[in-house]
Structure 1
Amino acid sequence: MGFKEILQNDRPGARASLLEDGNLLVYGLSSIFIALNLVLIANGFFWLSILPLLVVIVLLLVFSLDKLLYLTVFLTPLSVNLGQAGFGTMVSLPVEPIMFAIMLVFLFKNLYRNTTDRHVYRHPMSILIIINLIWIFMTSITSELPLVSFKFLLSRLWFIVPFYFLSVQIFKNIRRIKSFLWCYMIPLSGVIIYSIYNLWAAGFDEQISQDVMYPFYPSHTSYGAIIAMFIPFLLFTAVNVNGSYRLRVAGLCLFILFAVAILFSYSRAVWVSLPIAFAAYLAIRLRVRFGAIMICVAVVASLLLTFQSDILMQLERNKQDSSEEFTENFQSISNISTDDSNTERLNRWSSAISMFVERPIFGWGPGTYQFLYAPFQKSYNLTLISTNAGNRGNAHSEYIGPLAESGVLGSLSFIAIVLCSLFIGLRVIYRGEQRARWLATTILLGLITYFVHAFLNNYLDTDKLSVPFWGFMAMLTALDLYETRREDAGLKELAAK
């Protein structure tokens, strides 16, 4: 018998021995880790407990970036901002460090060996996003507070790179879009139940409702805005006759839960955004021409500008403040005389416009508004909740805020992204494959709820909103690239639909 035959005959036993040795090694290391961790916990040191999670994250970074992205989406509703918890730094744990790591790995892979479909970078949405990022970079150089601005740019990159550029690649498979949505909605449902329980324990007090989602969401407005983005998908899932019975039941249960959460969020901006999204759905069903919609928007804007004095006089007569009653709370939306929330919003907008007038091209720098707007406040605009400390939010508008921070091109580049998403969504709905149309409809309607909300608030500097927002943008881009018939799908043809 030769040496080769000896090895072949001994191989099963050798494998069994190696397997047993491997198991012993795993058991031994696990026992040492558990014992050491118990000793450290008994002495008040808890950080070693996160080591297994770190090992999993590192393995996923190396071998399965898409699964790590899903894990990040799942953890986002449950993440906690250290600044709100009193630690002095505005980093959301555990998700933002993971996003940063995903961004670095994705960029490294693309520099070393381009793994991204070149059509993604040539897509109009991608081009506009890149232009917006380039302008943010340029205005960070000219910023009044460069360190703040470059930190803002970095955070915007770790939102966009994973949840737009990487996600477009993942969403080539349409089923992964639904996985992304469920990964966010399931933990969000847990936060909703937690918030409703806290609100019930407080007797459904309207003032208490603004903080019942703490520490997971910073305010009732951001909490309501995110819930509203998923309402169209849940409603369509519940009524989709082609879906499975279990999926329809799950969609219906979550839709009811999310609807109750919106009602008790007492977020007036959300209550406005949902009816407008429903009107947009009717326009889609009636196949109203894209050009006709733009003309209507222009006419309404012209009328508002023409009769702004009369409109302001009527609004000033409204003295209804926000309250626990739904009808009274809804009526208070147009109260610009005595409602502190509304009047402070006008103060922030006025300050932003004054800042824009002084620096119309480059602005004061991305992310700097809250630190620099105080001298631009006018005495007659000040309210009971006005502050000079720069600790109570930004300009309360995704459209006006960039005017002050990045100048006219900063605002226009973001508006261009919004308009492009509307165009792409309609193109998929009108020209896409059958399976993609209803999904594109729900995604577009979800985005529309935030486009409306963005007139009154801005949350794209937070992980909670940026993950679904840029994820939805990636979904529309992927559906447009991989699920839409390319023939006669040009701008002229879509505008004539």
Structure 2
Amino acid sequence: MFLKHAKRILLFLICLAFGGIIGSYSDTPLPLLSLLVVTGAFVFLGMEIAVYLLLIALPFSFRYILPGRFEIQTPTEPLLGMLVAVYCAEKIVDRVLQKERPENTFPFLVPLCAYIFVTFLSGINTPDLFGTFKGALRATVYMLFSVIVYAVIQNRATLKRLFIAIFPSAAVAVIWTVIVLIYRIDAWQWTSAYRSAPFTNYSVYGAFTAIFFLICLSRLLFDNSTYDRVLWTAWFVCFSVGLLMCFSRGVWLSVIVTVGFILLQLGRGVTHKKILFMGAACLILLVCLNLPGVYNIIIERVSSAVDISYASNRARLLRWGQAVVMFLENPILGKGYGAFAMLYEEDVALVGSYTAQYQLGAHSEYLQVMAELGIV
């Protein structure tokens, strides 16, 4: 009984001390250092809970703050960085103490470490060594998160807890965005409609929603075990509606190709599921296309993908061309991680006053990796 009250009192004192530090030393680095210490202690005591909290906060972390020269995606990135730091520290201590290695290790650790090494090695040709190393370190933290998730999610029980943690927050973020887009239905196809939503633009929103849509679809089609089908159907409907509000051509194409591949994996004995899904999809699509003004907007959006008169298409071609030129200049190690944003300059004569949504990228992950990291 005494220990129970002691834990509560200790937690209260820690919060009180942290609040006092923030109030008294707000103009110094001390509050940030205190936050990192508290986060590190929390991660050390409960790494699995920290992973769940990080994924719960993920849908609300797509907007950035810029303290000085650093770009931070809050609240997930400080927690993610501390997760990786604590995990690496634990592995170093285990190696020093010569503890036995677990048999079930991350299967792609060697190629992942090789890719991380190449990411830093590409800094040889970079125009800004500090910027490249900062970006490479940040990318490394994200890559190592896969190792942490593999270490934490080792059985069906932890996987179930993971789904319980992430699906409600994802649904809240999608429903929130759908409400915002309906409120601004006259501009739902533009990035400006997302100003009050958790997501910054339709591409980020569409990619996030598509992941959960495909997970729900896969389970409903393939999983014949006992589970709450009503709940999973509700999740599926939620993310389907969210996907219908997305205006990204890349997301449309990706979902169509992936759904086609999923349907091909169904055996002959479940043809009724294919017919039911395709019939429902066609009916919903037909209803959506008959809504006032929707058909013309979608046809214009699809046809504009190959229309060179659009400034966005000219800007995209310029970025692709710049990425190819960068690769040809340094085909082995590339120009350095993040170098595309440092070297690319928009041609005002071709694109006019158009400001690209992907201001720092090549609008192609493959070409950008090829230009920045080379063929190694």
Judging changes above 3 Å, is the alpha-carbon distance between structure 1 residues 328 and 33 closer, same or farther for their aligned structure 2 residues? same
> Do 1:332 and 1:339's aligned partners in 2 also have CA atoms closer than 8 Å?
no
Structure with bigger gyration radius: 1
SS at match of 2:255: helix
Question: How far apart are the structure 2 equivalents of 1:116 and 1:107?
Answer: 14
Judging changes above 3 Å, is the alpha-carbon distance between structure 1 residues 145 and 286 closer, same or farther for their aligned structure 2 residues? farther
Deviation at 1:255, TM superposition (A): 1.3
SS at match of 2:247: coil
Partner in structure 1 of residue 63 of structure 2: 81
Deviation at 1:216, TM superposition (A): 2.9
Q: 1:260-317: CA deviations, max 9, x gaps?
A: 1111121111110111102222443469xxxxxxxxxxxxxxxxxxxxxxxxxxxxxx
Partner in structure 1 of residue 362 of structure 2: 395
2:247 to 266, 271, 278: 266
Deviation at 1:249, TM superposition (A): 1.9
SS at match of 2:354: coil
Partner in structure 1 of residue 306 of structure 2: 335
Judging changes above 3 Å, is the alpha-carbon distance between structure 1 residues 256 and 134 closer, same or farther for their aligned structure 2 residues? same
Question: How far apart are the structure 2 equivalents of 1:383 and 1:370?
Answer: 19
Partner in structure 1 of residue 272 of structure 2: none
Higher relative contact order (CA 8 A, sep 6+): 1
Output the aligned Cα RMSD.
Answer: 3.9
Q: 1:202-240: CA deviations, max 9, x gaps?
A: 234234455426563232101101211121211234454
Deviation at 1:168, TM superposition (A): 1.5
Question: How far apart are the structure 2 equivalents of 1:79 and 1:198?
Answer: 17
**Which piece of structure 1 moves more, 199-208 or 392-401?**
199-208
Judging changes above 3 Å, is the alpha-carbon distance between structure 1 residues 66 and 213 closer, same or farther for their aligned structure 2 residues? farther
Deviation at 1:54, TM superposition (A): 7.2
Percent identical residues: 21
Residue 408 in structure 1 maps to residue 372 in structure 2: no
Residue 135 in structure 1 maps to residue 118 in structure 2: yes
> Do 2:337 and 2:373's aligned partners in 1 also have CA atoms closer than 8 Å?
yes
Q: How does 1:251-330 map to 2 (within 5 A)?
A: 251-285=232-266, 325=296, 327-329=298-300
> Do 1:65 and 1:102's aligned partners in 2 also have CA atoms closer than 8 Å?
yes
Deviation at 1:181, TM superposition (A): 3.9
Q: How does 1:89-100 map to 2 (within 5 A)?
A: 89-100=70-81
Residue 149 in structure 1 maps to residue 132 in structure 2: yes
SS at match of 2:374: helix
Q: 1:323-351: CA deviations, max 9, x gaps?
A: 88464155235323233333322221111
Task: Give 1:129's aligned amino acid.
Answer: L
Partner in structure 1 of residue 168 of structure 2: 186
> Do 1:75 and 1:94's aligned partners in 2 also have CA atoms closer than 8 Å?
yes
2:214 to 232, 252, 266: 232
**Which piece of structure 1 moves more, 53-62 or 233-242?**
53-62
Judging changes above 3 Å, is the alpha-carbon distance between structure 1 residues 93 and 153 closer, same or farther for their aligned structure 2 residues? same
> Do 2:122 and 2:373's aligned partners in 1 also have CA atoms closer than 8 Å?
yes
Residue 101 in structure 1 maps to residue 70 in structure 2: no
Judging changes above 3 Å, is the alpha-carbon distance between structure 1 residues 35 and 73 closer, same or farther for their aligned structure 2 residues? closer
Deviation at 1:383, TM superposition (A): 5.0
Partner in structure 1 of residue 286 of structure 2: none
Question: How far apart are the structure 2 equivalents of 1:217 and 1:195?
Answer: 8
Residue 120 in structure 1 maps to residue 105 in structure 2: yes
Judging changes above 3 Å, is the alpha-carbon distance between structure 1 residues 282 and 373 closer, same or farther for their aligned structure 2 residues? same
Deviation at 1:96, TM superposition (A): 0.8
> TM-score, with normalisation over the residues of structure 1?
0.59
